[in-house]
Amino acid sequence: MSWAAELRGFGVAGILAIVIIVLSGTVLVGDMIAVPVGAALVLVWAKLSQTPWRELGFVRPRRWLGSLAVGILLGVALKLVMKAIVMPLLGAPPVNQAFQFLAGNRALLPAAVWAMLMAGFGEETVWRGFLFERLGTLLGPGAGAKAFIAVLTSVLFGLAHYEVQGVAGVEQAALVGLVFAAVVARTGSLIVPIVAHAAFDLTALAIIYWRLETAVAHLAFK
Report the C-alpha gap between 209 and 108 in whole angstroms: 10
**Residue 34 pLDDT:** 84
**Residue 31 pLDDT:** 62
Mean pLDDT by 10 residues, the chain (222 residues): 88 95 85 85 96 96 94 98 97 93 93 93 97 96 95 96 93 97 96 98 97 94 76
Prediction pTM value: 0.94
Q: What is the DSSP code (8-state) at residue 96?
A: -
Rounded to the nearest 5°, which phi and psi values hold at 54? -65, -25
57 φ/ψ sector (left φ>0, alpha ψ -120 to 50, else beta): left
| Boundaries of every domain in the chain | 61-217
Q: How many other CB atoms sit within 10 Å of the CB of residue 11?
A: 11
**Residue 6 pLDDT:** 93
Task: Calculate ∠ Cα 122-21-139, nearest 5°.
Answer: 100
Helix (H, G, I), strand (E, B) or coil at 34: strand
Q: Which amino acid is at 191?
A: I
Q: Answer for the pair 203, 79: CB distance below 8 angstroms, yes or no.
A: yes
